[in-house]
């Protein structure tokens, strides 16, 4: 039908219905869902970082506690004499030479180096070596060392405290024990 022209109304009926777009409410709800998801991920990241820092500090405390136990084993005579028990320690350059120094002086030197490392690697880090039958008690102000051994062997406790949440109070503790 070469000469027949369809009218406009018949052309409109052949077209698909007009597709409706997303409404403003649907877009806002989608944005809200995405925002809540992103906030949840940010919170999870913050918790993860806190746990990572806690694990790092516990690892440092374990390494430093093991360091003190190794020092005591290396200077067994000083440990048996009780030179490490409650000592504050003084650095002695003579202990760094091949000639060495006496067992009690070496114990004081070991304690001084150890205390410096505690302060360097742990926030508000402090520690104490003492003879204690109940090593898992006490705090930085009162270490809870009773000076008695539970058996005939000397029982040394290495107690370390640090400030995990950086509030100025050393509330985290790690205790390692050595029986000589």
Check residue 33 and give its pLDDT.
Answer: 96
Check residue 68 and give its pLDDT.
Answer: 95
Task: Please provide the average confidence, as pLDDT, over all residues in the chain.
Answer: 82
CA distance linking residue 84 with residue 61, whole number of Å: 18
Residue 46 above 90 pLDDT? yes
Q: DSSP character for 94?
A: G
Q: For residue 19, what pLDDT band results from cuts at 50, 70 and 90?
A: low
Check residue 96 and give its pLDDT.
Answer: 81
User: Which of 26-30, 129-133, 147-151 has the lowest average pLDDT?
Assistant: 147-151
| Confidence (pTM) | 0.73
Pairing of strands 155-162, 172-179: antiparallel
Q: What is the pLDDT of residues 70-98, one digit of tens each?
A: 999 999 998 888 888 877 888 888 888 77
Whether 162 and 125 have beta carbons less than 8 Å apart is answered as: yes
Residue 12 above 60 pLDDT? no
User: For residue 59, what is the enclosing H or E element?
Assistant: helix 24-74
CA distance linking residue 157 with residue 178, whole number of Å: 6
């Amino acid at each position: 039908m070469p000469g027949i022209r369809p009218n406009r109304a018949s052309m409109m009926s052949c077209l698909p219905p007009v597709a409706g777009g997303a409404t403003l409410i649907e877009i806002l709800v989608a944005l809200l869902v995405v925002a809540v998801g992103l906030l949840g991920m940010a919170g999870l990241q913050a918790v993860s970082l806190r746990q990572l820092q806690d694990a790092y500090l516990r690892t440092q405390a374990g390494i430093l506690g093991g360091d003190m136990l190794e020092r005591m084993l290396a200077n067994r005579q000083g440990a048996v004499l009780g030179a490490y028990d409650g000592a504050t320690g003084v650095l002695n350059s003579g202990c760094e030479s091949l000639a060495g120094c006496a067992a009690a002086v070496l114990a004081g030197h070991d304690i001084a180096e150890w205390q410096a490392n505690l302060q360097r690697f742990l926030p508000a880090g402090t520690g104490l070596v003492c003879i204690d039958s109940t090593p898992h008690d006490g705090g930085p102000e009162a270490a809870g060392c009773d000076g008695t051994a539970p058996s005939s062997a000397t029982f040394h406790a290495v107690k370390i405290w640090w400030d995990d949440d950086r509030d100025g109070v050393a509330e985290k503790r790690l205790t390692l024990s050595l029986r000589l």
